[in-house]
Structure 1
Amino acid sequence: MDLTEIFSMAGTVGALSQLKFSEVLMDSQNRSAALFERGRKVIPDGVSSPMRAFAQVGRNPICAVSAKGSRIVDADGRSYVDFLNAFGALLLGHAPDEIVSAISEQAARGPVYGLSTEGEYRLAERIVASTPEIERIRFVCSGTEAVMTAARIARSHTGRNLLLKFRGSYHGHSDALLANPANLLSGAGNAKGVSKGISDQLNRDVLIVEYNDEQEVAAAFETHGASIAAVLVEPHATNMGFVKSKPQFHRLLRELCDQHGALLIFDEVVTGFRFRFGAVCTAFGVKPDLVTFGKIIGGGTPVGAFAGKAEFLDHVALGRNVFQSGTFAANPLTVAAGNAALDLLGKPGFYEALEEKGAFVEGLLRAGFAEHGIPFVVSRHGALLGLAFRDSAEPLLSYRDVKTQDYKLFEQFHIQMREKGFLLPPSLEEPIFLSAAHTHEDLERFAREAVQTLHALRSESVPA
């Protein structure tokens, strides 16, 4: 039986999910690996975004062919329970029927016009209404563009150049946000997203301190406060694995920005609409000046947005100080998918059900770790989950803590979980993304296999 026959026999992703890996007969060469080698001839590393190369876990990337609900199927017919979920874009899981229908209907009317649409205005109104801290919003095509433009607005509004961000954070690949000063206040390199090709001046226009470190932040403002245009921060850090913020941390940032005339930018590309219907800043009781969105508000299509009070957003109005443009910004397909996604997210009980699922899998992991003597901390907020791969009862609080983890153990864990049919983010510095499509059976199997896999790997590493 060849791959074509298997797909014909299975018919759907649901049927494929019942096939064991051993039942998928392949040529002598793995098809995903063969496609990867083909891609490497015309695309650097064979991927269009670096994390897809799976280099941090020592395996070839997965070439996907289809996905539905909580499962994704690769080019070899293997089905995985997906905890990558497009790096957090798919809070609803893969291909919800309502979103597929909305995109199909819009595609038949035209995928892009280069003009505004009623759907764009409706999506903007709904997001603004969801978050009292914002008054206006403008759409772009990616989180990178959203944060890049928010930083540009902050510099325009304040007339200053310095941006303060946090070690280990990632806010997209624009020059200003990949800048890496030679002498950091935290005393060590940023070690994430480091890139050549960025001007020395931009490197001088960025300050980097440790996340959750109130003393370092206060020291940075004490020395540079008059030059800081903005502080750029995630409500919870999601590019260090999952690092929860201290309750008082963002309040301190707000106070320091107010004292020194800087703007506070919440990067909610990952967290926006993940924990509540709107930005999480509302739940935090902190009022940022600018908020960026992405991922979830696009319903699985390319999207980004920057939002805030009118006095800040008006910088991009015609004839004002900040230029921003994009042919595909608020394109009809994204707008249709976004509105369909918000329809689903806004249903009564949606976030309560997500919280219940998150608590369910967290409880199973904690119980399993306790039973097998695995001293790893489990961190969670809503549908975001993190495991700290180190022998410590203390949670991760900063990138300094993140780098104390056992990266080799995570690599082995990732490989074995992949063989067992679970797709995890291919980096210890990415969180585990839960979705509304995950069933309790999915979560129970994941927790059981994760505990057993870690117990076995740790037992093997202990000298006899």
Structure 2
Amino acid sequence: MNQRVLAERARRAIPGGVNSGQRNVPGLSDLVIAHAEGARFRDADGKEYLDFHAAFGPPLLGHNDPDVNAAVAEAGNGADLCGVGVTEGEVELAETLAELVPSVERVLLTSTGSEATFHALRVARAATGRRLVVKFQGCYHGWHDSVSLNVISSAEKVGGRDPISTGILPEVLEATLVLPFNSSQAVRQAFADHGADIAAVIVEPVPHNVGCLLPEQEFLRTLREECTKAGSVLVFDEVITGFRHHLGGWQAISGVTPDLTTMGKAIANGYPVGALGGRADLMDLFSSRPGGPAFFAGTYNGHPAVVAAALATLRKLRAEPVHAHVFALGERIRSGLTEVFDSLGIPALVTGYGSVFVGYFMTGPARTYDDLLRNDANMFIGYRRRLLDHGIFELPLNLKRSHVSYAHTDADVDRLLEAAAVAARQAGGEVQDLAAASTMGGAVR
């Protein structure tokens, strides 16, 4: 069926026509996905895109990986969802996560990363009897109320509370302290002022929800030291960094071990599974253990199909040179894009880590969220919209990162770099025209 017709049907039946807020992208409101495989997807009109968005990062192996799909199909021949007891697959997955991730002694499975972060903060409050949670500007930890603030904020809202949604009780937001990322001084001051009432500090060790701010080692060590001194719970939200950057997550890279870790996305190559793991004394507070005071439940937790997907994904990540491949391609992209933008005289900072890359249209550095306020959002979005003309998909929303998968090839990188030169030149011209029209007082739409 015609893509536009399908999109219109979607808008009549689904608010906005999509099932997640950031899937409704200006200029792509009629996009209907028909097929995905490897490093590509195709829309309902038959147009194919080389995909560097990768659904915000889960398909590290590539779309519809045959080994993962085979494991899911095989699981369908055994137990399905029975909602009682445990399956062998759940046991094996929990044991595997505990083996791989330094902080993990016990594991509970969820259906999403948001659920995992929600339960992490709930159990931290249960363990400490305290009220306050600390998060950082630019970090995203899911949809629940206590962390739904200060992700991508405008300049005038940085430093205050900036909720991403209406409908949140003010007293919930007031129990969250927002600090600047990479500021050890701000962390020490917050603990000096509020340490006796801080239940938890939650952080993306790399804030990938605003592209890529790489953490300073002193900052991560300060989080660990202050939480230890105050008796607060340190939570690493590794929903993005876990498994994509290292099988042990960023904590294995940095050597800084949190008390709790949330996981998701690349754990199952796109199948809907999240996990919360950490210290046994904290995890044993959940009601999954009889007598545990922190309620924990979920009908779909540990569904056999998604458990099979996670086990197959982790087996492949351990057995094949996945990280070596995607890291090499990621480095080629970052260095290649830097050369492209330099050759065109376009101010840009290309950064990232491993298989993640992002090109900010600004000069460096990119250390804190405040630095990202210099990014030229019109150029950032315009460049990515022009990439679409070349069949290359990087999400055309400000500050969003891009990803390499095991299915991408050197030829795919060559194609991206060739298209980038044309798209950046076109977008640069459009931004200049827009600025000129604005200066002359012209009507700009």
Say if 1:150 and 1:461 are closer, same or farther in 2 by CA, change over 3 A.
closer
Match of 1:198 in 2: 168
1:222 pairs, out of 185, 192, 211, with 192
Q: Distance in 1 between matches of 2:432 and 2:170?
A: 47
Match of 2:441 in 1: none
2:253 corresponds to which letter in structure 1? A
Within 5 Å, which residues of 2 pair with 1:439-454? 439-454=409-424
CA contact (8 A) 1:379 1:395 kept: no
Within 5 Å, which residues of 2 pair with 1:55-94? 55=26, 58-94=27-63
1:95 corresponds to which letter in structure 2? N
Q: Distance in 2 between matches of 1:139 and 1:195?
A: 27
What SS is found at the alignment partner of 2:336?
A: helix
Shift of 1:456: 3.1
Shift of 1:397: 1.9
Within 5 Å, which residues of 2 pair with 1:34-73? 34-55=5-26, 58-73=27-42
- Residue range with higher mean Cα deviation, 296-305 or 143-152: 296-305
Match of 1:431 in 2: 401
Match of 2:206 in 1: 236
CA contact (8 A) 1:388 1:395 kept: no
CA contact (8 A) 1:185 1:209 kept: no
1:53 corresponds to which letter in structure 2? N
Cα RMSD after superposing both structures:
2.1
Say if 1:148 and 1:242 are closer, same or farther in 2 by CA, change over 3 A.
same
CA contact (8 A) 1:299 1:340 kept: no
Match of 1:14 in 2: none
Shift of 1:446: 0.7
- Residue range with higher mean Cα deviation, 138-147 or 452-461: 452-461
CA contact (8 A) 1:179 1:198 kept: no
Shift of 1:306: 0.4
1:280 pairs, out of 241, 250, 257, with 250
Match of 1:388 in 2: 360
CA contact (8 A) 1:185 1:216 kept: no
1:362 pairs, out of 313, 317, 334, with 334
Q: Distance in 2 between matches of 1:453 and 1:180?
A: 31
Q: Distance in 1 between matches of 2:187 and 2:270?
A: 36
Say if 1:190 and 1:438 are closer, same or farther in 2 by CA, change over 3 A.
farther
Within 5 Å, which residues of 2 pair with 1:193-342? 194-316=164-286, 317-342=289-314
Match of 1:159 in 2: 129
Say if 1:447 and 1:385 are closer, same or farther in 2 by CA, change over 3 A.
same
2:54 corresponds to which letter in structure 1? N
Say if 1:349 and 1:185 are closer, same or farther in 2 by CA, change over 3 A.
same
Q: Deviations over 1:329-386 (max 9, x none)?
A: 0100001111111111011432122211111212211222222222211112111111
Structure 1 gap ranges (5+)? 4-30
What SS is found at the alignment partner of 1:346?
A: helix
Match of 1:405 in 2: 375
Shift of 1:84: 1.3
2:40 corresponds to which letter in structure 1? R
Shift of 1:133: 2.1
Match of 1:27 in 2: none
1:436 corresponds to which letter in structure 2? Y
How many equivalent residue pairs? 428
- Residue range with higher mean Cα deviation, 421-430 or 262-271: 421-430
TM-score (norm 1): 0.88
Say if 1:318 and 1:265 are closer, same or farther in 2 by CA, change over 3 A.
same
Q: Deviations over 1:53-95 (max 9, x none)?
A: 013xx43152111111000011110100011111111111101
Say if 1:207 and 1:61 are closer, same or farther in 2 by CA, change over 3 A.
farther
Say if 1:150 and 1:366 are closer, same or farther in 2 by CA, change over 3 A.
same
Shift of 1:460: 4.7
CA contact (8 A) 1:162 1:206 kept: yes
Shift of 1:217: 2.0
Say if 1:300 and 1:59 are closer, same or farther in 2 by CA, change over 3 A.
closer
Does 2:336 match 1:343?
A: no
CA contact (8 A) 2:384 2:394 kept: yes
Match of 1:104 in 2: 73
Aligned residues: percent identity? 36
Q: Distance in 1 between matches of 2:158 and 2:166?
A: 20
CA contact (8 A) 2:161 2:173 kept: no
